[in-house]
Amino acid sequence: MSADPRLVPDAQVLDEVTYVEAAELAYNGAKVLHPRTLAPLAEKKIPVWSKNSFAPEKAGTKIVPQIAGGGMGARAVTSMKNVALVSLEPASPELNGVQVMARSLDAIARANVEILVISSSSYRQNFCFLVRTEELAPTLHALESTLALELAHGYLNPIHVDNNVGLLAAVGEGMQGKPGLAGRIFTAISRVHVNIIAIAQGASELTIAVVVRRDGLEKAVQAVHAECGLGQRPPVPVFPFTSKDTGVPKPKRRPIP
């Protein structure tokens, strides 16, 4: 669907998505097929139908290699709540932040932890990344073991963990090369008074991921979904009264209090 209907009442079933879009949606929290499940199917270009188990007679969403036209923007908006944001920042200019990042990511990979989002700053060479809550403990153990010397001598600030966050991701191949789309998404989020903590976008321009406070996640998802025009269109209003002279429908007038 274009969003979780529990968060967005006007979310609609998507007729088609590509393999890449389906994988990105699943990776960022959508309850669909696992990304690795799609790999052998995509290799053979075998179409897949994702259906509602409570309504199997309905067409559902077809997962295909490509969609004609590619779309004009985001295909769907997805979100995750059970996540934690981990931040690392050098306390001393003598510490190479790039090397800290490289060693940290290597330690996390060896711990078999999946990083959902990563964002960095070039000035202080600090960085933060998002992991699932259930993988936070092995993440911290890996970092504390690998960076024990830097932490003990104060070259690295204490590892900071923020559990009060959520992830929002706008996904769609139609987002590629669309100037102003990211700005519209960020503006839509700020319009509902939700602060953006971290932002990530890959070179493919397929996904824009945003980390926000957990209590503002639902509002942010609704705002982005509406801004991208993904909701069901409202019905055309019908006016029951007609002008005797012209036959042109006349709207009801609200009485003046």
Classify residue 209: in a domain, yes or no. no
Query: Where does the pLDDT of residue 234 fall: very low under 50, low under 70, confident under 90, or very high at 90 and above?
Result: low
Quote the pLDDT of residue 35. Answer: 66
Q: Are 77 and 166 in contact (CB under 8 A)?
A: no
Q: What is the mean pLDDT of residues 169-188?
A: 89
Identify the CA nearest to 204 among candidates 180, 235, 171, 236. 171
pLDDT exceeds cutoff 80 at 168: yes
Quote the pLDDT of residue 50. Answer: 76
Cα 126 to Cα 137: distance, rounded to the nearest angstrom = 21
Q: Percent of the chain scored above 90 by pLDDT?
A: 43
Q: What is the mean pLDDT of residues 160-169?
A: 95
Sequence-separated (6 or more) residues with CB below 8 Å from residue 57: none
Domains: count for the chain: 1
Query: Where does the pLDDT of residue 41 fall: very low under 50, low under 70, confident under 90, or very high at 90 and above?
Result: confident
Query: Where does the pLDDT of residue 164 fall: very low under 50, low under 70, confident under 90, or very high at 90 and above?
Result: very high
Query: Exposure string (b/e) for 62-75, b if CB count within 10 Å is 16 or more?
Result: ebbeebeeebebbb
Cα 218 to Cα 215: distance, rounded to the nearest angstrom = 7
Classify residue 206: in a domain, yes or no. no
Classify residue 124: in a domain, yes or no. yes
Cα 200 to Cα 178: distance, rounded to the nearest angstrom = 16
Quote the pLDDT of residue 36. Answer: 73
Classify residue 233: in a domain, yes or no. no
pLDDT exceeds cutoff 60 at 25: yes
Cα 235 to Cα 86: distance, rounded to the nearest angstrom = 45
Strands 207-213 and 160-171: antiparallel
Query: Where does the pLDDT of residue 86 fall: very low under 50, low under 70, confident under 90, or very high at 90 and above?
Result: very high
CATH of the domain at 94: 3.30.2130.10
For residue 112, the enclosing domain spans 86-163
Query: Where does the pLDDT of residue 201 fall: very low under 50, low under 70, confident under 90, or very high at 90 and above?
Result: confident
Classify residue 170: in a domain, yes or no. no
Cα 213 to Cα 79: distance, rounded to the nearest angstrom = 12
Classify residue 146: in a domain, yes or no. yes
Quote the pLDDT of residue 235. Answer: 47
Which H or E run contains 132?
strand 127-132
Chain centroid to Cα 35, Å, comes to: 15
Classify residue 199: in a domain, yes or no. no
Lowest-confidence region among 52-56, 59-63, 252-256? 252-256
Residue 162: exposure state from Cβ atoms within 10 A (0-12, 13-18, ≥19)? middle
DSSP 92: S
Classify residue 23: in a domain, yes or no. no
